[in-house]
Amino acid sequence: MKMTFRWYGQEDDSVTLDQIKQIPGVEGLVWALHHRLAGEVWTEEEVLQVKEQADEYGFHLEVVESINVHEDIKLGLPSRDRYIENYKTSLRNVAKVGAKVVCFNFMPVFDWTRTDLFKPLEDGSTALFYEKAKVDNMDPYELIQEVTKSAYTMPGWEPERLKTIEQSFKAYEEVDEDQLWKNLAYFLGEVLPVAEEEGIKMAIHPDDPPWSVFHLPRIIKNEEAIERYLGISNSPSHCLTLCSGSLGANPANDVPNIIRRFHDRIAFAHIRNVRIYENGDFIETSHRTQDGSVPIDDVVKAYHENGFTGYARPDHGRHLWGEECRPGYGLYDRALGIMHLWGLWDAYELIKRKEESENATTT
């Protein structure tokens, strides 16, 4: 397992490279050109600037999250081909700085959705919270106004994108899940050959939460959908980002079992926990199994027993000790999460070695 840490660039002074360097076991940065809108080309000059910053601290840039997919590609509009060509150029440019995995998603309009960015937990920390009834019954424009009151934004909820939100909703009136599947297959058919040439794995992220939001189609939400997705292509570049928190928000998803079934297609592991309430609400918690509804101990065990050598990150975390940070991306709880994940991994490694030693003695 290769541990990484998501970094939002030097403009985000709440988490610095100096601080990340002090977290044991972190080898690389999960990065992006966050100022680039979906559909724009990531230039060679810009990605080389990021490499210079990472090189100073000895971090690799092998995982990109995300080169966002333009909405016209998801909608299957005639203009999609222009944006797909831009996407191919961006893939070639990130390959020049060593990118091996590109995490992306195919969620219409929004990326992950929450109703409260800083919901208090019992211990005094705060975390991202999803109130199901609010999403089910609230006009999306009301939620947009409420969530964007914060000085921070969630990915996919940036002000530039939300300016055209009304047009986006209208455009999806004619797109159902089957059509979205077709549009995804078209996109993959175009970009996978380039990814394969450049040695990049295209690793789709599950929908978060893994169900329809505001009546928009969503398709990467359970084991059956992952099977369908992976069946689109047999390219070695056709892979999966397995997010335990996204899939785990639906208690019907057996995350460890999904890992065991598809482990050889998982290029990138997002490991985090959520606590699910009986009414369908959920809140993000610490990584410990005891604090949430996802068996993180078994999640890590599933990776370990299958010899996972891909990339991992602690994904979201709580906001601790009064830190002011991007929602879900505080320094402290993600650092604690990494140490918890390494502790589990090391424990399973010790068990494995003990069993191997006992077997060798017996034979």
Q: Report the C-alpha gap between 256 and 237 in whole angstroms.
A: 23
Per residue in 16-69, pLDDT (tens digit) is: 999 999 999 999 999 999 999 999 999 999 999 999 999 999 999 999 998 999
Per residue in 116-162, pLDDT (tens digit) is: 999 999 999 999 999 999 888 877 767 666 656 655 555 555 566 66
How would you write 284-339 as a 3-class SS string?
Answer: ECCCCHHHCCCCHHHHHHHHHHCCCCCEEECCCCCECCCCCCCCCCCHHHHHHHHH
Q: Report the C-alpha gap between 51 and 126 in whole angstroms.
A: 33
Could you state, in order of their start, the residue ranges of all structural domains in the chain?
Answer: 2-362
Q: At what angle do helices 80-95 and 177-198 cross, to 10 degrees?
A: 30
Contact partners, residue 249, CB within 8 Å, separation at least 6:
130, 208, 209, 210, 274, 276, 282
- Is the domain spanning 2-362 CATH 3.20.20.150? The answer is yes
| Burial category of 165 from C-beta neighbours within 10 Å (exposed 0-12, middle 13-18, buried 19 and up) | middle
Ramachandran category for residue 258: left, alpha or beta (phi over 0 → left; psi -120 to 50 → alpha)? alpha
- Return the number of other C-beta atoms located less than 10 Å from residue 271's C-beta: 25
CA dihedral 235, 46, 59, 153 (to 10 degrees): -90
Q: Report the C-alpha gap between 170 and 112 in whole angstroms.
A: 20
Better-predicted residue by pLDDT, 356 or 63:
63
Per residue in 58-79, pLDDT (tens digit) is: 999 999 998 999 999 999 999 9
User: b/e string for 112-146 if b means 16 or more Cβ within 10 A?
Assistant: bbbbbbbbebeeebbbbbbbbeebeeeebeebbee
Greatest mean pLDDT among 107-121, 157-171, 341-355 lies in 341-355
Q: What is the pTM of this model?
A: 0.93
Contact partners, residue 185, CB within 8 Å, separation at least 6:
232
Q: Report the C-alpha gap between 36 and 44 in whole angstroms.
A: 13
Q: Which two tokens stand for residue 61?
A: 């840039």
| Block residue for tokens 């059509």 | 179
Q: Which of 58-72, 145-159, 224-238, 244-258 has the lowest mean pLDDT?
A: 145-159
Q: What is the mean pLDDT of the chain?
A: 93
